[in-house]
Amino acid sequence: MDVPEVVVLRLPLYVRALTQLQREGAEVVSSHQLGGRLQMTPAQIRKDLSYFGRFGKQGRGYNIEFLLDELRDILGLTREWRACLIGVGRLGRAIINYTGFAPEGFSIVAAFDSSQRHIGTTVGDLTVRPMEDLSHAISDQRVTIGIVAVPAVQAQSVIDTLVENGIHGILNYAPVAPHVPMGIVMRNIDPVISLQSMTFYLKDA
């Protein structure tokens, strides 16, 4: 089944909206209601979900619990994901201390830095380790995701090292667009790029 990436990118937003609806006590939601939450058309929502089977009955809406279970399963959110973080400067420390990851099943289990200034210090529950420990830690601690919070100039080489050590998923906070080989999934968190795509719409406001 070949699902367009834009659809995959939207699925987590469905999960979040459905979770919120469930918290509010709802059991069933129509594509209209869900579309209202997500600023999408009902047709778009029905089309996205149709890639994965039939979830709703015509005129009766979606069973929220069932749809949530299915989407979590499709996205692989029913298991724990273990990540390592590279770079414990101000940004890296904010990431380690971010409380939003754990409730969603993502745990940062190891932190690394190349600077003697940081190695051996404690950030959150983690002791910062030297880059030489990376390879061992990835296999030993069953790490599958690498979070990159190093300066721009170091990002490509850090990402190369992660990929060489078997990491398939990269969450990159460095303000560059690194190259990754086929089969490696990378997401960039980049507030400047986000701002620059807003100003297009603001410049004549």
Residue that is written with structure tokens 């719409």 in the block: 201
Token representation of residue 127: 């002791």
**Which one, 25 or 59, has the nearer CB to a copy of itself?**
25
Note whether 90 binds a copy of itself by CB under 8 A.
Answer: yes
Note whether 202 binds a copy of itself by CB under 8 A.
Answer: yes
How far, in Å, CA of 175 to CA of 148, rounded? 10
**Which one, 16 or 32, has the nearer CB to a copy of itself?**
16
C-alpha count within 13 angstroms, C-beta hemisphere, residue 168: 5
CB of 191 to a copy of itself, least distance (A): 6
From candidates 106, 133, 160, 161, binder to a copy of itself by CB under 8 A: 106
CB of 56 to a copy of itself, least distance (A): 21
Beta strands in 124-196 (DSSP E): 126-127, 129-130, 145-148, 169-172, 185-188
Burial class (CB in 10 A: 0-12, 13-18, 19+), 9: exposed
Note whether 191 binds a copy of itself by CB under 8 A.
Answer: yes
Cα distances (Å, whole numbers) of residue 81 to 84, 144, 167 = 10, 7, 12
CB of 171 to a copy of itself, least distance (A): 6
Note whether 1 binds a copy of itself by CB under 8 A.
Answer: no
Note whether 64 binds a copy of itself by CB under 8 A.
Answer: no
CB of 53 to a copy of itself, least distance (A): 15
From candidates 38, 126, 131, 137, binder to a copy of itself by CB under 8 A: 38
How far, in Å, CA of 119 to CA of 102, rounded? 24
Token representation of residue 14: 């469905």
Note whether 130 binds a copy of itself by CB under 8 A.
Answer: no
Number of residues binding to a copy of itself, judged by CB under 8 A: 57
How far, in Å, CA of 101 to CA of 95, rounded? 9
Which long-range contacts does 184-190 make (Cβ < 8 Å, 24+ apart)?
186/159
- Residues making contact with a copy of itself (CB under 8 A): 3, 8-9, 11-13, 15-17, 20, 37-39, 74-77, 79, 81, 90-91, 93-95, 97-98, 100-101, 104, 106, 144-145, 168-169, 171, 175-177, 179, 183, 185, 187, 189, 191-203, 205
